[in-house]
């Protein structure tokens, strides 16, 4: 690290200490000694136990469930760092909660993703580092710099080790076609789409497949899964359309107990995901977790050194 730059300091909230430790290991910078606790009444308390005055501070905290608690804790940590005279504060949010509430699609509803952006800026965040936002236009919700990384290089690197022949990449709905198309291009695979209709927030009903999947290995790609409803509905219709082995790949697996139950008895051979949120302990679940610690760590190092993070998007490059 060049001596003319202000020193890097890494802080971790309580949302995902394991990932924070791995990121710190990659960067070679120890985590700052920080007290992060909750009072008996549920209020969060933060105390930074080291001098961070004039330092380049990175606060690692995905806003995964419990989303409200983790978001509030992040805001409090940012405030503590600002009042401790940090030179710059970057919020490192591997999983950005509330990202799906990004537009008014019903009367009298909030645009919570914009509210969260405003809260972060109001708290004192100078820039944000995140990964695989639900909708890329969320970057425009921030009036501060935002670096948006992609899990694709990490996930595809693992997928290539499986050496799957006759692979077709499938979007489980019309909205995910752009993402699926990018994966299909990277894997030199064909593309198919499952057209579905959503019954409720936790239930979806798949309808039919556009594209040829008969006798092919298929990979369903999505950005996030919680109940696995979308993935399982897609897998079911792909199986009935004659697909061979069915794999699923999601950037963020915010899995609930119902998802574990569903996945164990499903058509999906393996669910490939990242550790952007804490790994769920799902016994007997066909889950493969790929670490994004090096990806996030490299992003942090490059931001600190005022270097470009664009090469981290390369799927065939060494950075992947």
Catalytic pick from 9, 196, 216, 301?
196
Dump pLDDT digits (tens) for 195-227: 866 677 777 666 789 999 999 999 999 999 999
Q: So where are the chain's domains?
A: 8-149+293-313, 152-290
**One fold for 8-149+293-313 and 152-290:** yes
Dump pLDDT digits (tens) for 284-316: 788 999 999 999 999 999 999 999 998 888 765
DSSP symbol at 128: E
Q: How far is CA 242 from CA 86, 219, 231, 259, in A?
A: 58, 14, 16, 24
Question: How many residues are listed for the chain in this entry?
Answer: 320
**What is the enclosing helix (H) or strand (E) of 185?**
helix 177-187
Paired with 204 in beta bridges are 198
**What is the enclosing helix (H) or strand (E) of 209?**
strand 204-210
At the top level of CATH, which class does the domain 8-149+293-313 belong to? alpha beta
Is the omega angle on the peptide bond into residue 66 within 30 degrees of 0, that is, cis?
yes
Is residue 196 among the annotated active site residues? yes
Helical axes 177-187 vs 152-161, angle rounded to 10°:
50
Handedness of CA 70, 103, 256, 176 (dihedral sign): negative
> 152-290 domain in CATH 3.20.20.70?
no
Q: What is the pTM of this model?
A: 0.92
Which positions of the chain have pLDDT values less than 70?
1-5, 196-198, 204-206, 281-283, 315-320
């Amino acid at each position: 690290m060049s001596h003319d730059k202000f020193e890097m300091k890494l802080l971790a909230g309580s949302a995902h200490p394991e990932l924070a430790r791995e990121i710190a290991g990659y960067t070679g910078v120890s985590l700052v000694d920080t007290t992060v606790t909750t009072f008996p009444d549920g209020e969060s308390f933060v105390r930074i136990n080291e001098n961070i005055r004039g330092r380049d501070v990175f606060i690692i905290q995905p806003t995964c469930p419990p989303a409200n608690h983790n978001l509030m804790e992040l805001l409090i940590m940012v405030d503590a760092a600002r009042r401790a005279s940090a030179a710059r504060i970057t919020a490192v949010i591997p999983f950005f909660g509330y990202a799906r509430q990004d537009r008014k699609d019903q009367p009298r509803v909030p645009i919570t993703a914009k509210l969260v952006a405003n809260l972060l800026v109001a708290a004192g965040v100078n820039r944000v580092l995140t990964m695989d936002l639900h909708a890329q236009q969320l970057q425009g919700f921030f009036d501060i710099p935002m670096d948006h990384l992609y899990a694709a290089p990490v996930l595809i690197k693992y997928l290539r080790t499986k050496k799957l022949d006759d692979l077709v990449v499938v979007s489980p709905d019309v909205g995910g076609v752009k993402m699926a198309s990018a994966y299909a291009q990277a894997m030199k695979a064909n593309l198919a789409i499952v057209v579905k209709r959503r019954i409720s927030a936790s239930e979806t009903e798949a309808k039919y497949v556009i594209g040829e999947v008969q006798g092919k290995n298929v990979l369903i790609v999505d950005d996030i899964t919680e109940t696995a409803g979308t993935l399982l509905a897609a897998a079911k219709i792909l199986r009935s359309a004659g697909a061979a082995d069915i794999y699923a790949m999601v950037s963020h697996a915010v899995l609930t107990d119902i998802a574990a139950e569903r996945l164990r008895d499903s058509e999906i051979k393996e669910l490939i995901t990242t550790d952007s949120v804490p790994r769920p302990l799902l016994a007997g679940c066909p889950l493969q977790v790929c670490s994004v610690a090096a990806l996030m760590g490299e992003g942090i190092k490059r931001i600190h050194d005022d270097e470009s993070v664009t090469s981290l998007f390369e799927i065939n490059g060494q950075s992947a």
